[in-house]
Amino acid sequence: MGGIDILLLIAYFISFICALLLMAALFLYFRKRFRARVVSLFMLAAFFFLGAYTVKMAVAFWIRFSITSGDSAVYAALKSQGWAIAQTGTTLGLVILTVLMYTRRQDLFMIFPAVKEEAKRDADA
């Protein structure tokens, strides 16, 4: 394992930890926003992008780490598919964020209707 591999492992690990911390913070943010029944579409798209990026960093870390520990055809296929799914999600998230930014739609919100007490009681029964 060369110096560049060690540097990449450290960078992937730090990126992964930061992404997990951001995901946790955004999860708490969205819990509050869903209770208030108003969610920013821009923040939702950012959450989707960050989720895909977190998966991508986990797969990147797995690929880099597994180079030193041997490999099989099954693991190689799983890594390739995982990377493709994570890259597709990251790209989709970036496209959504770019469209929202350049159409000046950063301030779009989804408003959820209030749940009436009667409907809630019927659902509980």
Q: How confident is the model at residue 106 (pLDDT cuts 50, 70, 90)?
A: low
Average pLDDT over residues 113-125: 59
Statement: residue 88 has pLDDT above 80: yes
**Intra-chain end-to-end CA distance of the chain, in Å:** 61
Statement: residue 58 has pLDDT above 70: yes
Statement: residue 42 has pLDDT above 70: yes
Report domain extents, the chain. Answer: 3-124
- Closest CA relative to residue 69, chosen from 54, 55, 79: 79
Which residues are within 8 A (CB) of 44 and not within 5 positions of it... i.e. 6 or more apart? 30, 110
pLDDT of residue 119: 52
Angle at 14 between CA 8 and CA 18, to 5 degrees: 145
pTM over 0.75: no
Average pLDDT over residues 38-56: 83
pLDDT of residue 1: 64
Statement: residue 31 has pLDDT above 80: yes
Average pLDDT over residues 50-61: 83
